[in-house]
């Protein structure tokens, strides 16, 4: 399928997991892919693999975010798709009684403020084109909470969801669609690290997934490619769940 032929897509967190799988999928569908990551080896290897461009950037830095879109525009002439996906999981116990203010702030900064910055600086390019698709990575926990006590993470993803709805509604008449992607647990380094620290947590999670397994990153990428494409032309401001049935159980 070549639904994204010639479109310019900027993907944050493209060096690993969901971002990497989406870079591959976008390239297969004909897009010019700009792979953004803080981690140079993985980001540049992703870009080389998909024949795209690597931009080393920290998505919490306003000047870096401005520069990554400018680089995409200077190289390919437009910014059609922004997949704002980079995110972190809290390093330690993230229950409200244990999470310190610094850890809380760091998670909001990387997971939520970054999305604010990435939307703020992508939208003007899309306004000039009269068209664009923004997909922000939230999580199923934003919709239903988490039985595994992740207060700063869940709150950050709830913010991403609310912001995506707000922007989807606000910019709909300008041809810019904004959707929140809400994956269930996905087999990526982020999840594997979390579960390596707490194997029981993995088991608890698995029990609650109706399809009985974690998602592969390529299954999430397929949904992102759909949302990015004109096949999703009537979908904006949505919470797009790709969660193996968790939220319905
Ligand atoms: P991952 O750890 O495999 O990849 C995240 C990438 O983001 C890494 O390459 C990392 O270097 C990059 N990154 C981190 N901080 C950055 C920064 N400040 N600037 C630029 N790049 C940065 O993670 P993943 O599992 O692919 O997760 C991707 C997104 O999906 C995250 O927002 C995560 O919260 C969300 N998510 C993941 C799951 C899951 O189960 N894996 C479920 C729901 C939502």
The pLDDT tens digits of the residues spanning 96-138 come to 999 999 999 999 999 999 999 999 999 999 999 999 999 999 9
Ligand 1 lined by 37 (C-beta under 6 Å):
yes
Probe ligand 1: pick from 16, 45, 46, 140, max atoms within 8 Å of CB? 16
Q: What pLDDT shows up at residue 129?
A: 97
Q: How confident is the model at residue 223 (pLDDT cuts 50, 70, 90)?
A: very high
Check pocket membership of 64 for ligand 1, CB cut-off 6 A. Answer: no
The confidence band for 199, taking pLDDT boundaries of 50, 70 and 90, is: confident
pLDDT-based confidence at residue 180 (cuts at 50, 70, 90):
very high
Q: What is the pLDDT of residue 113?
A: 98
For strands 81-84 and 8-12, give the pairing: parallel
- What's the pLDDT at 221? 98
Per CATH, domain 8-239 is 3.40.50.720: yes
Provide the annotated active-site residues.
Answer: 153
pLDDT value of residue 207: 79
Over range 74-92, report the average pLDDT.
Answer: 95
Q: Which of 4-8, 93-97, 99-103, 204-208 has the least mean pLDDT? A: 204-208
Determine if ligand 1 sits within 6 Å of the CB of residue 18. yes
Radius of gyration of the chain (CA): 17
Give the Å distance between the CA of 85 and the centre of ligand 1: 6
Mean model confidence pLDDT for the chain: 95
Cα-to-centroid distance, 154 and ligand 1 (Å): 14
Q: Residue 194 — very low, low, confident or very high, per pLDDT cuts 50/70/90?
A: confident
Please identify, by atom number, the ligand 1 atom nearest to the C-alpha of residue 183. Answer: 43
Please report which confidence band the pLDDT of residue 73 belongs to, taking 50, 70 and 90 as the band edges: very high
Residue with CA closest to ligand 1 atom 2: 190
Ligand 1 contact, 137 CB (< 6 A): yes
The residue whose CA has the least distance to atom 26 of ligand 1 is: 17
The band of 198, judged by pLDDT with boundaries at 50, 70 and 90, is: confident
Q: Residue 66 C-alpha to ligand 1 middle, in angstroms?
A: 20
The verdict on the CB of residue 59 being under 6 Å from ligand 1 is yes
What pLDDT does residue 97 have? 92
Average pLDDT over residues 83-95: 90
Q: What is the mean pLDDT of residues 29-39?
A: 98
- Residue spans of the domains in the chain: they are 8-239
Rounded Cα distance between 1 and 177, Å, is 21
SS3 35: strand
Distance of CA 185 from the midpoint of ligand 1 (Å):
12
Beta carbons of 216 and 186 less than 8 angstroms apart: yes
pLDDT at 201 over 80: no
Residue 147, pLDDT > 80, answer no
Q: Check whether 4 has a pLDDT greater than 90.
A: yes
Per residue in 12-23, pLDDT (tens digit) is 999 999 999 999
Q: What is the dihedral of CA 223, 42, 11, 188, to 10 degrees?
A: 30
Q: Which residue has the tokens 């207060």?
A: 151
Distance CA 52, CA 139 (A): 27
Q: Which of ligand 1's atoms lies nearest the C-alpha of 64? A: 19
Q: How far, rounded to the nearest angstrom, does the alpha carbon of residue 44 sit from its chain's CA centroid?
A: 18
Which pLDDT does position 56 carry in this prediction? 98
Cβ of 229 less than 6 Å from ligand 1: no
């Amino acid at each position: 399928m070549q639904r994204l032929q010639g479109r310019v897509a900027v993907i944050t967190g493209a060096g690993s997991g969901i971002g990497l799988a989406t870079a591959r999928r976008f390239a297969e569908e004909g897009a010019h892919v700009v792979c953004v990551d803080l981690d140079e080896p993985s980001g540049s290897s992703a870009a080389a693999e998909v024949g795209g461009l690597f931009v080393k950037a920290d998505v919490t830095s306003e000047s870096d975010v401005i520069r990554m879109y400018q680089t995409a525009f200077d190289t390919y002439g437009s910014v059609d798709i922004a997949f704002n996906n980079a995110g972190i999981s809290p390093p330690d116990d993230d229950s409200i009684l244990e999470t310190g203010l610094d850890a809380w702030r760091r998670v909001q900064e990387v997971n939520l403020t970054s999305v604010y910055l990435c939307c703020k600086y992508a939208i003007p390019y899309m306004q000039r084109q009269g068209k664009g698709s923004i997909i922000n990575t939230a999580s199923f926990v934003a919709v239903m909470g988490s039985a595994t006590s992740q207060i700063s993470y869940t709150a950050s993803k709830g913010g991403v969801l609310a912001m995506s709805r707000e922007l989807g509604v606000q910019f709909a008449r300008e041809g810019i669609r904004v959707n929140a992607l809400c994956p269930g647990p996905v087999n990526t380094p982020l999840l594997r690290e979390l579960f390596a620290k707490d194997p029981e947590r993995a088991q608890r999670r698995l029990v609650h997934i109706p399809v009985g397994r974690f998602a592969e990153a390529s299954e999430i990428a397929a949904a992102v490619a759909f949302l990015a494409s004109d096949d999703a032309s009537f979908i904006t401001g949505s919470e797009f769940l790709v969660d193996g049935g968790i939220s319905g159980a």
